[in-house]
Structure formats: C-alpha cells, structure tokens
Amino acid sequence: MQSSKRTKLEAAGWHIGSTDEFLGLTPEESAYIEMKLALSHALRERRLIKKLSQADVAKLVHSSQSRVAKMEAGEPSVSLDLIMKSLLALGATPNDLATAISGGATTR
C-alpha cells in the first residue's frame, strides 16, 4: 500500500494491520500456513517443470485431479503429508522440501 494512502486511511480512523492480526493467528499458526503454501507452490512448480498434468500427478499418488488442484491451491482441507508425499513422488528430495519451506528455489 502506498504510504500516502495509508496515512489518509489512518487519519480517517482506520487501523492498518496484518492478516495475522486480523485472523488472530499465533506466530506458530502463521508459520505453519506459510510453510504449507510454500510446499503447495513447490508442488505446482515441480509438476509444470516435469510437464505433467494434475491428472498425471493424481495417478502417481493414488488421488484425484481435483485433490491435486486443492493441494496446489493450499486448501485447508488438504493435509501437509499429502502435499509432501506428492512432492516426493515427483522426485523431490528432503533437501528440496527444506529449500521450499525456507523460501529458496525449488526447481530441478
């Protein structure tokens, strides 16, 4: 947000805060969400690099295409283990997972 816009909003009595504040997330909950989203992004990136469809990935992990779409979107209903299992099925190493979580490059 531009600082001029922020200043105007605050002058009008609005409080500008973070998503974590708005949702009342603890630092641990926020970190968990960030890690899950990073892994979800890594899954989509790896799938695209390998030129696989979501249906192809679904067959590899014995799931459905819609579930893979939910994994890539970071849906709350998808478990972290399924995302990790899918990444491993696409050839990711534990180091690749650590790199994705830490915000580094995930391509391979």
Contacts of 95 (CB under 8 A, 6+ apart): none
CATH top-level class of 3-101: mainly alpha
What is the distance, to the nearest Å, from the Cα of residue 71 to the centroid of all Cα atoms in its chain? 8
40 burial (CB, 10 Å; 0-12 / 13-18 / 19+) is buried
Question: Could you list the pLDDT tens digit for every one of the 108 residues in the chain?
Answer: 788 888 888 888 888 888 888 888 899 999 999 999 999 999 999 999 999 999 999 999 999 999 999 999 999 999 999 999 999 999 999 999 999 998 865 444
pTM of this structure = 0.78
* pLDDT value, residue 104: 64
Contact 36, 81 (CB under 8 A): no
Cα(76)–Cα(60) distance, rounded to whole angstroms? 22
* pLDDT value, residue 108: 46
- Can you give the residue ranges of every domain in the chain? 3-101
